[in-house]
């Protein structure tokens, strides 16, 4: 399994309970594909530089996940099909080399 970083942008018109439900649904999509959520950080509402699906801002959620490389495409597709998710992007996490002084 590889480590990936996942950024979700959720519709800002949802209530806090609906945002929670959207995040749980995204986690279920990951676990259904035999993935595992390592960390989650809700970054809050941020304004876009241009409209996305007729929205001016969105609720950002960052997750660090473990998944099999062959399931990443399916996970991305499943997340993008969710109506509450405006954007979803999953990319392989990179490990920064230790810098010596």
Q: Is 61 a residue whose pLDDT tops 90?
A: yes
The answer to whether the CB of 33 falls within 8 A of the CB of 89 is: no
Give the C-alpha distances (Å, rounded to integers) separating 58 from 4, 36, 78.
Answer: 22, 25, 19
Residue with the larger pLDDT of the pair 96 and 64: 64
pTM of the predicted model as reported, rounded to 2 decimal places: 0.82
How sure is the predictor about 53, in pLDDT bands with cuts at 50, 70 and 90?
Answer: confident
- Tell me the C-alpha distance between 87 and 67, whole Å: 19
Q: Is 48 a residue whose pLDDT tops 90?
A: no
All structural domains of the chain, each given as residue ranges with its CATH number in brackets, are 2-92 (3.30.70.60)
pLDDT for the residue numbered 99: 65
Across 42-58, average pLDDT: 86
């Amino acid at each position: 399994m590889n480590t990936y970083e996942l950024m979700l942008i959720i519709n800002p018109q949802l209530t806090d309970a609906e945002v929670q439900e959207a995040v749980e649904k995204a986690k279920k999509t990951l676990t259904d594909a035999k993935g595992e959520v390592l960390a989650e950080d809700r970054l809050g509402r941020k304004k876009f530089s241009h409209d996305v699906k007729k929205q001016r801002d969105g609720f950002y959620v960052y997750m660090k996940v473990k998944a099999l490389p062959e399931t990443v495409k399916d996970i991305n597709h499943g997340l993008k099909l969710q109506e509450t998710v405006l954007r979803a992007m999953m990319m392989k996490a990179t490990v920064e080399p230790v810098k010596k002084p």
